[in-house]
Amino acid sequence: MSKPIYLFAFSALFISACSSEPKEETEVVVETQKYAIPIHSFAQPNKAAVTHLNLDILVDFDSKAISGSATYDVVVNAGENRIVFDTRNLSIKEVTIDGMITKNWWLGPLKEFMGVPLEIEVTDNTKQVSIEYSTTEGAEALQWLNPQQTAGKEHPFLFTQSQAILARTWIPCQDSPGIRYTYEATVKVPNDLMALMSATNPTKIDSSGKYNFEMKQPIPSYLMALTVGDLRFAPIGDETGVYAEPSVLESAAYEFADMQKMLEAAEALYGKYAWERYDVIVLPPSFPFGGMENPRLTFATPTILAGDRSLTALVAHELAHSWSGNLVTNSTWNDFWLNEGFTVYFERRIMEDVYDKDYANMLAILGWQDLQHTLEEFADVPNDTKLKLDLDNRDPDDGMSDIAYEKGYFLLRTLEENVGREKFDVFLKEHFTGNAFKTMTTEQFLVNLKEQLLDGSEEKYAELKVKQWVYEPGIPSNVVAVESPLFAQVEAQLDSFLATGNPAVIDTAKWTTHQWLHFLRNMPEEVSVENLAAIDNTFGFTKTGNSEIAAEWYVLSIENNYAPANQAIKDFLIRVGRRKFLTPIYGALIKADPSKESAKAIYAKARPNYHSVSTNTLDAMLDI
List interacting residues with Zn ion (CB under 5 A). 340, 343
Stretch that binds ligand BES, among 7-15, 185-193, 205-213, 285-293 (CB under 6 A): 285-293
Choose among 326, 302, 315: nearest CA to 354: 315
* Closest CB to Zn ion among residues 221, 557: 221
Choose among 220, 204, 213, 119: nearest CA to 438: 220
Sole binder of ligand BES in the list 18, 145, 244, 292 (CB under 6 A): 292
Minimum CB–partner distance for residue 606 and ligand BES (Å):
19
- Is 405 a known active-site residue? yes
User: What, of Zn ion, ligand BES, none, does residue 175 touch, CB below 5 to 8 Å by kind?
Assistant: none
Beta pairing partners, 134: 67, 91
Q: Does 293 bind ligand BES (CB under 6 A)?
A: yes
Q: What does the radius of gyration of the chain's CA atoms come to, in whole angstroms?
A: 25
Residue 227 three-state SS: strand
Sole binder of ligand BES in the list 164, 262, 354, 363 (CB under 6 A): 164
Choose among 235, 234, 236, 175: nearest CA to 53: 175
* Closest CB to ligand BES among residues 69, 161: 161
Catalytic-labelled residue, pool 140, 318, 340, 416: 318
3-state secondary structure 48-108: EEEEEEEEEEEEECCCCEEEEEEEEEEEECCCCCEEEEEECCEEEEEEEECCEEECCEEEC
Other C-beta atoms closer than 10 Å to the C-beta of 571 total 12
Minimum CB–partner distance for residue 613 and ligand BES (Å):
7
Q: Does 400 bind ligand BES (CB under 6 A)?
A: yes
- Torsion 339-340-344-350 (CA) sign: positive
Q: Does 17 bind ligand BES (CB under 6 A)?
A: no
CB-hemisphere CA count at 13 Å for 384?
19
Catalytic-labelled residue, pool 405, 554, 603, 610: 405
User: What, of Zn ion, ligand BES, none, does residue 534 touch, CB below 5 to 8 Å by kind?
Assistant: none
Cite the beta strand spans of 98-209 per DSSP E. 100-102, 105-107, 116-121, 128-135, 142-145, 157-160, 180-188, 194-197
Minimum CB–partner distance for residue 340 and Zn ion (Å):
5
The reply to whether omega before 316 is within 30° of 0 (cis) is no
Task: Yes or no: say if 220 and 234 are a contact pair by the CB < 8 Å rule.
Answer: no
* Closest CB to ligand BES among residues 193, 306: 306
Q: Does 497 bind ligand BES (CB under 6 A)?
A: no
Minimum CB–partner distance for residue 320 and Zn ion (Å):
8
First to last CA, the chain: 48
- Give the C-alpha separation, 573 to 26, whole Å: 55
Beta pairing partners, 160: 142
User: What, of ligand BES, Zn ion, none, does residue 310 touch, CB below 5 to 8 Å by kind?
Assistant: none
User: What, of Zn ion, ligand BES, none, does residue 329 touch, CB below 5 to 8 Å by kind?
Assistant: none
| Interaction mask 327-346, ligand BES, x per CB under 6 A | -------------x------
* Closest CB to ligand BES among residues 363, 520: 363
Minimum CB–partner distance for residue 136 and Zn ion (Å):
29
Q: Does 295 bind ligand BES (CB under 6 A)?
A: no
* Closest CB to ligand BES among residues 85, 337: 337
**Total of chain residues touching ligand BES, rule CB under 6 A:** 15
Choose among 56, 54, 290, 285: nearest CA to 183: 54
Chain residues 305-324 in contact with ligand BES, contact rule CB under 6 A? 314, 317-318, 321
Sole binder of ligand BES in the list 163, 312, 560, 614 (CB under 6 A): 163
* Closest CB to ligand BES among residues 321, 431: 321
Minimum CB–partner distance for residue 446 and ligand BES (Å):
23
- Is 27 a known active-site residue? no
Q: Does 90 bind ligand BES (CB under 6 A)?
A: no
Residues in contact with 394: Cβ distance below 8 Å, sequence separation at least 6, in sequence order = none
Write b or e for each residue in 349-374: b if 16 or more Cβ atoms lie within 10 A of its Cβ, otherwise e: bbbbbbbeeebbbbbbbbbbbbbeeb
Minimum CB–partner distance for residue 565 and ligand BES (Å):
23
Q: Kindly give the pairing relationship between strand 438-440 and strand 226-229.
A: unpaired
User: What, of Zn ion, ligand BES, none, does residue 291 touch, CB below 5 to 8 Å by kind?
Assistant: ligand BES
Distance of CA 405 to the CA centre of its chain: 11
* Closest CB to ligand BES among residues 318, 384: 318
Other C-beta atoms closer than 10 Å to the C-beta of 502 total 12
Distances (CA, A) of 244 to 200, 201, 372: 17, 14, 36
- Give the C-alpha separation, 164 to 223, whole Å: 9
Minimum CB–partner distance for residue 51 and Zn ion (Å):
27
Minimum CB–partner distance for residue 319 and Zn ion (Å):
10
User: What, of Zn ion, ligand BES, none, does residue 290 touch, CB below 5 to 8 Å by kind?
Assistant: ligand BES
Sole binder of ligand BES in the list 373, 580, 596, 600 (CB under 6 A): 580
Stretch that binds ligand BES, among 58-66, 289-297, 419-427, 520-528 (CB under 6 A): 289-297
Q: Could you list the residues that contact ligand BES (CB under 6 A)?
A: 163-164, 289-293, 314, 317-318, 321, 340, 400, 405, 580
Give the residue numbers marked as catalytic: 318, 405
